[in-house]
């Protein structure tokens, strides 16, 4: 994501922008062993290949030209503190839900005023002397960003390096997507003028199917082709980009934003061996109970890592890495069985936004429950791009991973179901209360069954006693001769 107007603001800087142009200082913390190359990928030491200076904004201003407010401020002078609330999509009014869908469609059909995408590597641009950039619409800008951050490294010829991702499979997964959603909200606000806009979330815990896959929401299933969306949804006319990663690799090219066909989605008809079911409340609660944000190798092989478990590479009951299974976050992507199931182009499906908003809310729950210091986020030896002080690819202005390892309330937003925080006493007992809520229906059922059994037993005892009294009163006066020897008969007339 590169600002098309950055040069203009830099040249006009001093007159009216609250900031200054400063040199970029890169972290020199050691990296993990996952990427054994140097100088072959434009994303290394981001953004040094493209920029050596950027705008350093003052006060509550931010942006590539300091023309925006920080996420938790608004107003012409960025002095109005904001706390926006992300809501459950099912709790939106019909008006708000329709407005959200209309904003998505508007973003898909409006060219970004501030950003262009790179359609070639820096080497293909002849070290910058032959620029290769292209305009893009606001929605697809974020699709391209998600592609670019997760694409393979092009090594020349037919060679690529696949074990690299600046936003997944490592500590930066949650901070990166947190910033991604914040930037997305900000662009929609600028596009629509709605300063209070927030992304809704889809709470998929215990879902039995794709509840939002209806024409009222994110598009239903096509009546004759299960891989396509219903023509009754305007999402069926959307065209995807950046979905042919193997073609780009074979040509040693980047995705250039060319359209590649409709959104594909066939929820539930996925590989059940890899993803047997959608995530449960118990899965989420176990994940939240993990005390370590990151652990071990700090990649998809990490055990007992909250990040790796939430991302979906570890078993949600044991936190042991199992890359043959996809759980929690990954499970939703696999379940959708289409455009959303391929990492690089997954943001083409607008369900991506709802899904990641809920994933971010789980991250927020963990931050509030465990209250980690920023130093808990790894400072060194994480995979490339994931150290605490590494700048996140491909964002301009620049943000470091550690800057988003903080509560959402410090970034100006909250979640509807978290907006009224429990007191410390409640926080302590919340895990136990959650377990109680999960088994409560069984307890009630057991109590009802027990009461019925007791009633039946009591009625049986009363009936037996009654029969005994009757039998004693009507018993014959004659007994077998042997009984006379042991029993003294008495008349009860």
pLDDT one-digit tens code per residue, 329-341 = 999 999 999 999 9
What pLDDT is stored for residue 184 in this prediction? 98
Which token pair is 90? Answer: 């099912």
Q: What is the pLDDT of residue 335?
A: 98
pLDDT beyond 80 at 447: no
> What is the per-residue pLDDT for 128?
86
State residue 431's pLDDT score. Answer: 47
pLDDT at 291 over 90: yes
Q: Is the pLDDT of residue 257 over 70?
A: yes
Per-residue confidence (pLDDT) for residue 18, from 0 to 100: 85
End-to-end CA distance of the chain: 106
CA atoms of 83 and 405, how far apart (whole Å) = 18
Q: Which residues, 6+ apart, have CB-to-CB distance to 296 below 8 Å?
A: 302, 303, 304, 305
- pLDDT tens digits, 385-396: 999 999 999 999
Mean of pLDDT values over 37-59: 95
| Higher pLDDT, residue 162 or 453 | 162
| Residue % of the chain over a pLDDT of 90 | 80
Distance of CA 488 to the CA centre of its chain: 85
* pTM confidence score: 0.83
Mean pLDDT of 426-450: 54
Asked whether the beta carbons of 110 and 136 are under 8 A apart, the reply is no
User: Residue 107: is its pLDDT beyond 50?
Assistant: yes
- State the pLDDT confidence band at 62, using cuts at 50, 70 and 90: very high
User: What residues contact residue 349 under an 8 Å CB cut-off, 6+ apart?
Assistant: 263, 265, 336, 338, 339, 340
- Predicted confidence at residue 419, as pLDDT, reads 87
Q: Cβ distance 398 to 219 under 8 Å?
A: no
Predicted confidence (pLDDT) at residue 421 exceeds the cutoff of 60: no
Give the pLDDT score at 441.
55
pLDDT of residue 377: 99
Who has greater pLDDT, 472 or 285?
A: 285
Q: Other CB atoms closer than 10 Å to residue 160's CB: what's the count?
A: 18
Interval 113-147: pLDDT, tens: 999 999 999 999 998 899 999 999 999 999 999 99
pLDDT interval class at 172 (50, 70, 90): very high
pLDDT at 451: 65
Long-range contacts of 13-18 (CB under 8 A, 24+ apart): 13/55, 17/55, 17/65, 17/66, 17/67, 18/57, 18/58, 18/59, 18/61, 18/66
435 confidence band (pLDDT: 50, 70, 90): low
pLDDT at residue 359 is higher than 70 = yes
Can you give the pLDDT at residue 226? 97
Confidence band of 474 (pLDDT split at 50, 70, 90): very low
Confidence of residue 446 (pLDDT cuts 50, 70, 90): low
Q: What is the pLDDT of residue 476?
A: 34
Instruction: Judge whether residue 295 has pLDDT over 70.
Output: yes
- Owner of token pair 């927020």: 364
Task: Provide mean pLDDT across the span 5-11.
Answer: 36
Confidence label for 436 from pLDDT (cuts 50, 70 and 90): low
State the average pLDDT for the chain. Answer: 88
For 199-230, what is each residue's pLDDT tens digit?
999 999 999 999 999 999 999 999 999 999 99
3 state SS for 243-291 = CCHHHHHHHCCCCCCCCCCECCCCCCCCCCCCCCCCCCHHHHHHHHHCC
Q: Is 80 exceeded by the pLDDT of residue 321? A: yes
Residue range 178-207, pLDDT digits in tens: 999 999 999 999 999 999 999 999 999 999
Q: Which of the four pLDDT bands, split at 50, 70 and 90, describes residue 23?
A: very high
What's the rounded mean pLDDT across residues 225-239? 98
How many CA atoms within 13 Å lie on the side-chain side of 207?
A: 18
pLDDT tens readout for residues 369-381:
999 999 999 999 9
């Amino acid at each position: 994501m590169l600002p098309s107007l950055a040069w203009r603001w830099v040249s006009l800087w001093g007159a009216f922008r609250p900031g200054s142009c400063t040199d970029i200082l890169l972290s020199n913390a050691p990296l993990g062993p996952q990427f054994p190359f140097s100088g072959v990928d434009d994303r290394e030491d981001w953004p040094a290949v493209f920029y050596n200076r950027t705008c350093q904004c003052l006060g509550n201003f931010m942006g590539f030209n300091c023309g925006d407010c920080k996420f938790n401020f608004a107003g012409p002078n960025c002095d109005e503190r904001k706390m926006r609330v992300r809501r459950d999509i099912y709790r939106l009014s019909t008006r708000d839900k329709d407005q959200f869908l209309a904003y998505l469609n508007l973003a898909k059909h409006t060219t970004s005023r501030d950003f262009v995408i790179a359609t070639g590597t820096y080497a293909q641009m002849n070290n910058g002397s032959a620029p290769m950039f292209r305009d893009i619409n606001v929605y697809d800008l974020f699709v391209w960003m998600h592609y670019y951050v997760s694409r393979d490294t092009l090594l020349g010829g037919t060679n690529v390096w696949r074990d690299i991702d600046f936003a997944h499979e490592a500590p930066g997964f949650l901070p990166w997507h947190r910033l991604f959603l914040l930037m997305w909200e900000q662009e929609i606000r600028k596009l629509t003028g709605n300063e209070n806009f927030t992304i809704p979330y889809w709470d998929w815990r215990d879902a039995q199917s794709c509840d939002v896959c209806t024409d009222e929401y994110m598009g239903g299933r096509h009546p004759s082709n299960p891989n396509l969306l219903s023509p009754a949804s305007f999402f069926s006319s959307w065209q995807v980009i950046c979905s042919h990663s193997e073609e780009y690799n074979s040509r040693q090219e980047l995705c250039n934003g060319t359209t590649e066909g409709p959104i594909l989605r066939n929820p539930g008809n996925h590989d059940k061996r890899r993803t047997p079911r959608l995530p449960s409340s118990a899965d989420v609660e176990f994940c939240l109970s993990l005390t370590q944000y990151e652990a071990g190798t700090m990649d998809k092989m990490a055990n007992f890592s909250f990040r790796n478990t939430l991302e979906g590479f570890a078993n949600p009951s044991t936190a042991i890495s199992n890359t043959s299974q996809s759980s929690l976050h990954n499970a939703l992507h696999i379940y959708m069985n289409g455009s959303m199931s391929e990492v690089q182009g997954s943001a083409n499906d607008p369900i991506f936004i709802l899904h990641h908003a809920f994933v971010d809310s789980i991250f927020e729950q963990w931050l509030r429950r465990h209250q980690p210091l920023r130093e808990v986020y790894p400072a060194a030896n994480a995979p490339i791009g994931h150290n605490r002080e590494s700048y996140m690819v491909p964002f301009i202005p620049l943000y470091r991973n550690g800057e988003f390892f903080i509560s959402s309330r410090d970034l100006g937003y909250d979640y509807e179901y978290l907006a009224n925080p429990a007191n410390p006493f409640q926080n302590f007992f919340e895990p136990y209360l959650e377990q109680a809520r999960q088994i409560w229906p069984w307890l009630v059922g057991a109590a009802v069954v027990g009461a019925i059994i007791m009633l039946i037993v009591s009625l049986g005892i009363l009936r037996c006693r009654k029969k005994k009294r009757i039998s004693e009163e009507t018993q014959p006066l004659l007994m077998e001769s042997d009984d006379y020897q042991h029993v003294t008969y008495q008349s009860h007339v």
